[in-house]
Chains A and B, each alone.
Chain A
């Protein structure tokens, strides 16, 4: 879950002749082939399998129907809002985290890291308590005199966005943090010695150097948020249908496998687009310097 979260770790250059040691890779590869790749291929196959052979009916239903197009757009919008919110909050926070000293950094890091390890069900449940009519936020605002009677917050779109940002924010902060931490703090100073203004230093030195972390964080948060299931269904229910919710419904309630498989293929395409796009960007950022 770092700057390289979506890229494989670098390997040493392969030697020419294969070693018998290489055979140790086989059990793992065979396992993933049977339990992961074959099922995935089967799923894609069933999205184009009709009553009599090949058909694109599933895709036609997903992409041609006003309702399902709306669901796809709603998921993309949810991903976009979550990602921008997380970036806006997470980018400056990652800088402060990277610049903290010694024991403070360990403590602050632990506080950002801890929520990652707490169950998403627990967090969504806690978020519900925060937003209830008799919950902590209404209680706080009432006592501060900001409002006169409790406001309905749960099951609103604003609450959904806040909940999503809450769940996915660490995935934005940590990659940016690990890039910024490695950055040489003397570089902006050097620019300052050369007479660069603070704004110039930020836009021409600091920001470009932190971009690999931003790309990693943005692609990670976007692909997670677009596919989110638990948080939207707990905070909004059927009022905000995402692609994942349609898929779950198609397979578990409607038993409409073709519809579910076609929706899964669309989501898969979005995810693949993000992953490939991010790694291309990452390569350009790395190679341009």
Chain B
């Protein structure tokens, strides 16, 4: 009976992993095909679809825009979120629990509701610039990830260590830099990673804020998928998957991957 339970659990895990990886791995062989369709098994081997990435209208531009927005939004969230987290942990703010819930609440909202609310508000105040609307909205999307992880690491940090460093002769800023920062770095890295991914992949909020010239990568990809689906898309996807794996390995080296489960 015990064996049976364990057997079921392991079978389930193997099925889950194969099932999860199937749609991701399948795009890789398709991206090297010689044919112009997605037929499986792929025919021949060529890099033509990778060369065609450059020619796809607006794809590189969209990639650049998404990277820009994701990086800036993550940076702004880290700044605002960390200040807020420090205040909540150290400042004896009245209603700290309610404020914390408020700061992480965008995470619980359906993405489309958020997007529609922005769209309407931006029209109401006359902000028609897609770039700025995207940036502002994406700060809201990324804030909860930063708040959760930074708050988590700050709550576990013993501030007496900063005082200890100061008695040992460090100035206050130096003590913060050499004691506080290394201690909350894992929270920073995993928060920033999740924030970046949440912004970079966002579709439901962005779809209401883009315009003809300013399109983020997910929007552009979906457009392309609907208009002219060919293996170029598989090539782009393979590139994105490779990039993700690289970033994950990097984060694993920095803070350890399993700490991220607890975001």
Contacts and interface: CB of A to CB of B under 8 A. Distances in A.
Interface string B183-202: 00000000000000100110
Given A29-B103, A31-B139, A125-B225, A264 B96 contact: no
A136 B40 contact: yes
Contacts of B240: 118-119, 122
Contact of B12 (A18, A23, A89): A89
Interface residues of A, number: 104
A18 B241 contact: no
Interface string B7-24: 011111101110111111
Contacts, number: 314
Interface in A4-48: 5-6, 8-12, 14-29, 31-32, 35-40, 42-43, 46
Contact of A118 (B91, B139, B244): B244
Given A19-B91, A92-B8, A92-B12, A122 B103 contact: no
A20 B30 CA distance: 59
A190 to B, nearest CB: 15
A288 interface: no
Contacts of B233: 125
B16 A129 contact: no
Contacts of A223: 108, 110
Contacts of B25: 126
Interface string A30-69: 0110011111101100100000000000000000000000
Contacts of B20: 111-112, 114-115, 166, 169-170
Contacts of B83: 24-25, 27-28
B61 interface: no
Nearest to A21: B91
A32 B244 contact: no
Contact of B87 (A5, A23, A96): A23
Contacts of B168: none
Given A31-B139, A90-B16, A257-B120, A114 B93 contact: no
B56 interface: no
Chief secondary structure at chain A's binding surface: helix
A137 B89 CA distance: 53
A172 to B, nearest CB: 9
Contact of B9 (A6, A43, A95, A257): A95
A212 interface: no
Contacts of B120: 39, 42-43, 46, 257, 261
Contact of B21 (A115, A117, A136, A260): A115
A110 interface: yes
A29 B117 contact: no
Interface in B151-170: 151-152, 155
Interface of B: 1-2, 5-6, 8-13, 15-17, 19-27, 30, 37-41, 80-81, 83-84, 86-94, 96-97, 99-104, 106-114, 116-121, 124, 136-137, 139-140, 143, 148, 151-152, 155, 197, 200-201, 203-204, 207-208, 217-218, 221-222, 225, 233-234, 237, 240-241, 244-245, 247-248, 252, 257-258, 260-263
Across the A-B interface, the 6 shortest Cβ-Cβ residue pairs: A22-B91, A126-B23, A227-B110, A39-B121, A25-B87, A28-B84
